[in-house]
Amino acid sequence: MDYNYKIIHINTKDRWIFIYDDDTSMCDDEDGFVELVKRIQEYTNGKIESVGYIRYRIIGDRYNLIYQWDTLFGIVVIYSSKENVEHIKKYLEHFF
C-alpha cells in the first residue's frame, strides 16, 4: 500500500512531530507506521531498536529520533531539544 504521509503539526514545546496519511487516518492503522520506520531504517542502513511500547529508534539515524505510534495520536516523532526542527522536518519529508 502506498502512503501519502504529511506532517500535520509540530509541538515545539514537547518536541513532537505529528504525521498522518493524506488519504486515511493513521490512528487506526499501525501498518503505515511500520512502513515509515522501515523506509527510514533501510535508508540509514541502521538497526531498529525498541525503546518502549510501540516506540522505536533507529541506530544510525542522524537525529536519534524516537518513532511512536498509538491510536490517539497516530505517528509521532520525538526529537531532541538540541536539534533544529526545520532540518528534521526536511529529513522526514524525504521519506514521504
43-89 pLDDT per residue, tens: 999 999 999 988 999 999 999 999 999 888 889 999 998 889 999 99
Distance CA 47, CA 72 (A): 27
In the chain, where are the structural domains located?
Answer: 5-94
% of the chain residues with pLDDT over 90 = 67
Distance CA 36, CA 64 (A): 15
Quote the pLDDT of residue 23. Answer: 60
Q: How many CB atoms lie within 10 A of CB 4?
A: 11
Helix H or strand E encompassing 10: strand 5-11
Q: What average pLDDT does the segment 5-16 reach?
A: 94
The C-alpha angle 45, 48, 53, rounded to 5 degrees, equals: 160
